[in-house]
Structure 1
Amino acid sequence: MNTIVINDTTIEILVNKIIESTSDAIVIPTNSRLLPSGVVRCEVLKSAGAQVQLECNRIINKIGVISTGSAVITSAGELKSKHIIHVLGPNMGQGKEGKKLMLATWNSLRLADKRNLESIAFSPISMDHVGFSPKISAEFMLPTIKKYITEKPRTSLKKVELYLPNLPEYKEFERVLDKMKEN
């Protein structure tokens, strides 16, 4: 576990499954139709129960598809968290992937802030099955989180966690977090 505090918000990285989070909201990657895909999303939806996918289906029926960088929120069903933020990160090869990953991260934080949530837990966006390395994911997500907190000193968010599935991925995020501590 490694942390940094910016203003009154703690950013923490840890090795664990996102379904174990007790944060107000967890952030998971999605596709444009909010359907099950990827290891993390499928595990979360299975653990949350059918209600969450029904909510996703209602959102899609109302708005159509979501675009890269967009985030929507549902209940968390049977999970320990209260909400799930479903975010569409970029695929490698789309062009401007870094900018799109930053947008996806920013929009997830903004959505949590709009709901006055105090804690949010991210699963790395775009790392599951779309080609982003842990290094690239860390180098875009963590600075975006720092920038959001710095530019929004009155944010409702008091804790931002990043759940990494294993130690090698954790080490990449830790390297970036340690650099942030120096600046």
Structure 2
Amino acid sequence: MQTPAPFIECCQGDIARQDDMDAVVNAANAALRSGGGVAGALHRAAGPALADACRPLAPIQPGQAVITEAFKLPNRYVIHCLGPVYGVDEPSDTLLADCYRNALHLAQQHGIARLAFPALSTGAFGYPASEAARIALSTVLATLPDCPAVRQVRFVLFDDASRALHQQWLDALVGD
């Protein structure tokens, strides 16, 4: 019997409220501290223990991913990725792909079957949304065969325009 292919979906929602996911990905800063956007939402929902767990892991470099418990979040883990600042951290496309690849490899190592990503680097870090979506989805599709433990990937996007953009790239890349 063949194992079914991993399921990839794109939805609009709150990354801190993905209670059917084993892990969520944080769009982290180098210091792994709370901030605005995704990092702020996850740190607020997880409580101060998340900051305590992050402190000894910091600083991280663009493209790097580290993992902690999720504390008060409805998930088991948080994978923290530092995406590139567009126009500053180069090569930005490679560093952004590294975030997704490294997060998936951490998920594989920890037996994480269901993983939710935000759109890394597209907020304050200024990465163009369409290019970031293409890199994210193509990297996830290319990396999943090396991560058989990961059965579901969800892209949780802030607004419907971002969701639609990610869905368009997903459809284009898988040929639907």
Structure 2 Cα separation of the partners of residues 100 and 7 of structure 1: 30
Partner in structure 1 of residue 163 of structure 2? 170
CA distance in structure 1 between the aligned counterparts of 2:36 and 2:103, rounded to whole angstroms: 19
Whether 1:74 aligns to 2:68 is yes
Identity of aligned residues (%): 25
Distance 2:151 2:62 in 1: 27
Structure 1 counterpart SS, 2:97: helix
The runs of at least 4 consecutive aligned structure 1 residues that moved more than 6 Å come to: none
Secondary structure, counterpart of 2:94 in structure 1:
helix
On the 8 A contact 1:32/1:67 being kept in 2, the answer is yes
**Aligned residues between the structures:** 172
Q: Secondary structure at the match of 1:43?
A: helix
The equivalent residue for 1:149 is 144
Q: Counterpart in 2 of 1:133?
A: 128
Native 8 Å contact 1:27 1:120 kept in 2? yes
1:16-55 alignment runs, 5 A limit: 16-22=13-19, 23-55=21-53
Q: Which residues of structure 1 form unaligned runs of 5+?
A: 1-5
Post-superposition CA distance 1:126-183 (Å, at most 9, x none): 0121101221211100000000013x2x610010110001111111101101102317
Matched-pair contact (CA < 8 Å) for 2:66–2:79: yes
Of residues 94, 103, 118, the one that matches 1:99 is: 94
* Contact 1:38–1:128 under 8 Å retained in 2: no
Q: CA deviation at 1:7?
A: 5.4
Residue 87 of structure 1 corresponds to which residue in structure 2? 81
Question: What are structure 2's unaligned runs of at least 5 residues?
Answer: none
